[in-house]
Amino acid sequence: MNRRASVAAGLAALVAAAVAAPPATSARAPSAAEGAAIRAKVRQVIPPQDRRAVRITVRVSTVDRRWALARVLPRPGRERQVRPTGVALVQRAGRWRLMALGTTGLGCAMPRRVAVDLLGRAGARRGCGGR
């Protein structure tokens, strides 16, 4: 194999590996105890009539394990009843506390590195008024 062919083969392998690799994410799934506590806290702000209409997903920051992001999503067929929203939480003195609730500005309530970890670069400062 000549040099040009081996460079082309190596480049093709590199491109194939890059396309096949999943996107990098640092946030992790919560432990069973973390997930239960976070979901219980988030349910407190959901109106009782809407609680059966949603599912709550949770991610915990790997940059600072005291921070978490919950997403409140409508169950299939309930999209008109409930709108998707996010909830930023922080654990202080062993209890989860709500820091922000909504569709934008969630990253404004948390340290920048944590916001990037949980929301990605694009969402970290969305709605923060130029911060």
Question: How far, in Å, CA of 96 to CA of 38, rounded?
Answer: 6
Q: 21: which 2 tokens? A: 């690799």
Average pLDDT over residues 79-105: 94
114 burial type by CB count under 10 A (0-12 exposed, 13-18 middle, 19+ buried): buried
pLDDT at 6: 52
Residue-averaged pLDDT of the chain = 83
Say whether pLDDT at 40 is over 50. Answer: yes
Say whether pLDDT at 36 is over 60. Answer: yes
pLDDT at 76: 95
Average pLDDT over residues 38-43: 97
pLDDT at 19: 36
> Pick from 85, 22, 87, 40: which is nearest to 59 by CA?
87
Q: 49: which 2 tokens? A: 């009539």
Q: 91: which 2 tokens? A: 């654990």
With residue 36 as reference, give the H or E element that holds it.
helix 32-43
Sheet holding 95-102, edge to edge: 54-60, 67-74, 85-92, 95-102
47 burial type by CB count under 10 A (0-12 exposed, 13-18 middle, 19+ buried): exposed
